[in-house]
Amino acid sequence: MNLSLPALSVGRGDRPLFHSSPRDLRSGNRVVLLGPNGCGKSTLLACLAGLVPEYVNAWCQDRNGNTFKGWCDRTALVPQNPYSAFFAPSVEREIAFPLENLGLERRQIIERVEEALDWAGIRHLRERNAATLSGGEAQRVHLAVTRARRPGLYLLDEPLAYLDAEAAADFVQKLNDIEEPALVVDHDPAPWRNWANEWWYISPAGQLQVLESPPVSPEAKILPDGEPGSEHALVLEGLWFRYREGPWIFRDFSLEVKQGETLAVVGPSGSGKTTLFRLLTGQERPQRGSLWAKSVQGPSRWQALALRSAVLVPQNPEHYFWKPSVREEARTDGVDLEVLARFGLEGHGERSPFTLSSGEQRRLTLACALGKDRDIVLLDEPSFGLDEASFLMLMEDLKKLQREGKTVLMITHREDLARMAHRRVRLQASVYAS
């Protein structure tokens, strides 16, 4: 299918984001869209998916004032937040639902569901509730939903964010099977260099440009700063945990973390990385096991460390916002305007946190967390949604925490960020540490 994009303008509220000249999207086009946080990349995908303005508070129109509502029948979106569109009781039903809306016969629906499960490699997840999946598993479910629809244009918003290197390479390889045009938003061009045949860039001046080649980031010198101490900050012993009657995620799992140590928690999607943080912060309780933390006096009954000595930067920042403006959200956490300005949020004080881009939301949670003086810092995919400038700022903040002797546990799929750790713990399915 060939689609023609007219010259268009995109914005939010009274704030224009960017303008573009006419573009064509033809069969075989593989486009990667780059640009800084908040420039309008995700908003453009929402426009082309027909979600603006009914479902996304933005505007997108051509020179004649026409919108793109009619495009929703020809496009399919893999969203930035993989949990935002789930509602069915099982993965199988998630895939089938849009096909039912298209009025397909039962036989066709069954055939497409089976094909999509096999193609995305998620047959083992078919009976799972999608809301209980890891971020990487959820991304693959959305890809299966999109594949089953057989759209004329694939729209993918940072689809590799929750995937380890091996899963990301497999994801990109699957997109080679697609003949229809595809438009991918990402901050890191590296995984897409052998896949893309066109590169678009939204400049800080608000213009959508076509690049001759993707930008090449200079390789930074990445080493941990400072050495961990000899005393323990926290100790897990004999941990057993599973959700309800599901499979064991942790079986007799033990972990010791020294004061001032930076520990990278790595491993494939679904191996229990975020679950580990949920246990450490008291959001979940294990079936067996003990937790000792220096800040907890006496035997622990699995108290929430976040209330004592830890601060968490969550995987999905929007789940933790509760104030009407960025300024009030920051003030609640004791963060002043100077810290907001350092994270590039000085002009967004009166905006709702929910209207920020994912990268801006991530910067807000980092500002609120790092502005606190806590002994233990838990970072769950802290680089998700960050452009290059914000990522370099994150690395400097991590070095600052190391120099101050803070204990840092971070979940990451980025090798360059993991190299800043003193040590790594790799989790596998039904998990053990290595």
Kindly report the CATH number assigned to the domain that includes residue 297. Answer: 3.40.50.300
Instruction: Mark whether 271 and 126 lie in a shared domain.
Output: no
Query: 199 and 288: one domain?
Result: no
pLDDT digits (tens, 9 = 90+) for 291-312: 877 665 544 555 545 446 788 8
Asked which of 181, 211, 241 is the last residue of a domain, the reply is: 211
383 within domain boundaries: yes
Residue 344 placed within a domain: no
Name the domain boundary from 179, 211, 243: 211
Q: Which domain holds residue 394?
A: 232-309+374-426
pLDDT band at 26 (very low <50, low <70, confident <90, very high): confident
Task: Tell whether 82 and 193 lie within a shared domain.
Answer: yes
> What pLDDT does 341 receive?
85
- Residue 378 predicted with pLDDT over 90: yes
- Pair 160, 265 in one domain: no
Token couple for 55 = 């479902």
pTM: 0.82
Spatial separation of the C-alpha atoms in residues 149 and 153, rounded to whole Å? 11
Co-location of 415 and 294 in the same domain: yes
Mean pLDDT of 130-153: 89
What's the 3-state SS for the chain?
CCEEECCEEEEECCEEEEEECCEEECCCCEEEEECCCCCCHHHHHHHHCCCCCCCCCCEEEECCCCCCHHHHHCEEEECCCCCCCCCCCCHHHHHHHHHHHCCCCHHHHHHHHHHHHHHHCCHHHCCCCHHHCCHHHHHHHHHHHHHHHCCCEEEEECCCCCCCHHHHHHHHHHHCCCCCCEEEECCCCHHHCCCCCEEEEECCCCEEEEECCCCCCCCCCCCCCCCCCCCEEEEEEEEEECCCCCCCCEEEEEEEEECCCEEEEECCCCCCHHHHHHHHCCCCCCCEEEEEECCCCCCCCCCCHHHCCEEEECCCHHHCCCCCCHHHHHHHCCCCHHHHHHCCCHHHCCCCHHHCCHHHHHHHHHHHHHCCCCCEEEEECCCCCCCHHHHHHHHHHHHHHHHCCCEEEEECCCHHHHCCCCEEEECCCCECCC
Is there a domain that residue 339 lies in?
no
Do 121 and 238 fall within a single domain?
Answer: no
Is 339's pLDDT higher than 90? no
Residue-level pLDDT at 85 = 83
Question: Does residue 88 share a domain with residue 20?
Answer: yes
Does residue 318 belong to any structural domain of this protein?
A: no
Q: Does residue 365 lie within any of the structural domains?
A: no
Asked if pLDDT for residue 217 goes beyond 80, the answer is no
pLDDT band at 1 (very low <50, low <70, confident <90, very high): low
- Looking at the 3D structure of the chain, how many domains does it have? 2
Residues 404 and 277 in one domain: yes
Q: Looking at the structure, do residues 183 and 282 belong to the same domain, yes or no?
A: no
The mean pLDDT of 379-400, rounded to a whole number, is 88
What does the CA dihedral 333, 335, 340, 345 come to, rounded to 10 degrees?
Answer: 30
Question: Pick the residue with more confidence: 184 or 391?
Answer: 184
| Claim to verify: residue 197 and residue 114 sit in the same structural domain | yes
- Over residues 114-123, mean pLDDT: 94
pLDDT recorded at residue 219? 61
The pLDDT of residue 103 is above 90:
yes
Judge whether 350 lies within some domain.
no
Residue 222 has pLDDT above 90, yes or no: no
Per the domain annotation, does 156 fall within a domain?
yes
319: amino acid identity, one letter: H
- Within 8 A by CB and 6+ apart from 15, the residues are none
Q: Is the pLDDT of residue 143 over 80?
A: yes
Looking at residue 306, its pLDDT comes to 44
Residue 273 lies in a domain: yes
In tens, the pLDDT along 223-253 reads 788 889 889 988 888 999 998 877 889 999 9
